[in-house]
Amino acid sequence: MQTVVNLWPLIGVLVIVVGFVLRFNPLLVVTAAAIATGIAADFSLEKILAAMGDGFMETRALQLILLLPLAVIGLLERHGLRLHVQNWIARFERATVGRLLIIYLFVRESTAAMGLTSLGGHPQMVRPLLAPMAEGAAEKRYGPLPQVLRHKVLAMCAATDNVGLFFGEDIFVAFGAIALMHTFLLGSGIDVEPLHIAFWGIPTAICAFIIHAIRLHRFDRMLSRKLSATDRHASPVETAA
């Protein structure tokens, strides 16, 4: 006898996607998604509010964990952290955006494979350190960046952190996804050791590193091509002036 699965509670995912695409307030979007999911699952309003309250009480220390690093990073940026980082990276003549991010990708993926996932991250590493270093390397070589290319550099910094973390942590045997895959395979009658699952994450991580390193190398060439073309177009104007 086949059990019918109710897929309507997944409507909360759609609410989150639509809310973020339309740039609504994230707190309101998540709250609306939770209410929509509860209604779709035939929960009463009291049960929905009780579940949301329990979740808040269980994670009430999370706000301090999130806000404290942001406050520290904001204080450091106010005292010139980004400027000092940009000036420091500008001392290296051979530094480029691609080379810098390839090194960071290797370090991020290696440390994540050892379970040290908190050593990187967007708020504590990408925004205050990695992004200014990448901007400094690009401006040292090409001068001030156009806004469009600057945003592409920042996006590539964030993507590099994501790739390194996502594929590196799958090698760590105590990672939650490894335990989830082990449990799922056991439920399907396949007995595989967690260490064996983590071991076969290594080829995937190596392939991810090679593919993203190639992307970063091509990104360097794209920056060189576009900014060199911009300089060539600007030279007659500067000469006439």
Q: Average per-residue pLDDT in the chain?
A: 81
Comparing 28-42, 49-63, 172-186, the range with the smallest average pLDDT is 49-63
Over the stretch 62-120, which tens digit does the pLDDT of each residue have? Answer: 555 555 666 566 665 666 666 666 666 666 667 789 999 999 999 999 999 988 888 88
Q: How far apart (Å, rounded) are the C-alpha atoms in residues 151 and 215?
A: 16
Q: What is the pLDDT of residue 213?
A: 96
Cα distance between residue 135 and residue 123, in whole Å: 17
Q: Is the pLDDT of residue 132 over 90?
A: no
Take residue 160 and report the two structure tokens written for it: 């590099």
pLDDT at 1: 46
Q: What percent of the chain has pLDDT over 90?
A: 27
pLDDT at 103: 92
Q: How much is the CA Rg of the chain, to the nearest whole Å?
A: 23
Segment 210-214 shows an average pLDDT of: 96
The full set of domain ranges for the chain reads: 1-60, 81-240
Question: Phi-psi bin for 42: left (phi > 0), alpha (psi -120 to 50), beta?
Answer: left
How far apart, in whole angstroms, are the C-alpha atoms of residue 133 and residue 4?
53
- Is pLDDT larger for residue 192 or for residue 205? 205
- Model confidence band, residue 238 (pLDDT cutoffs 50, 70, 90): very low
The 10s digit of each residue's pLDDT in 11-26 is 888 999 998 888 888 8
Whole-model pTM: value is 0.66
208 falls in which pLDDT band (50, 70, 90)? very high
Task: Kindly list the distances between the CA atom of residue 26 and the CA atoms of 21, 22, 72, 148, in Å, as whole numbers in the listed order.
Answer: 11, 10, 23, 25
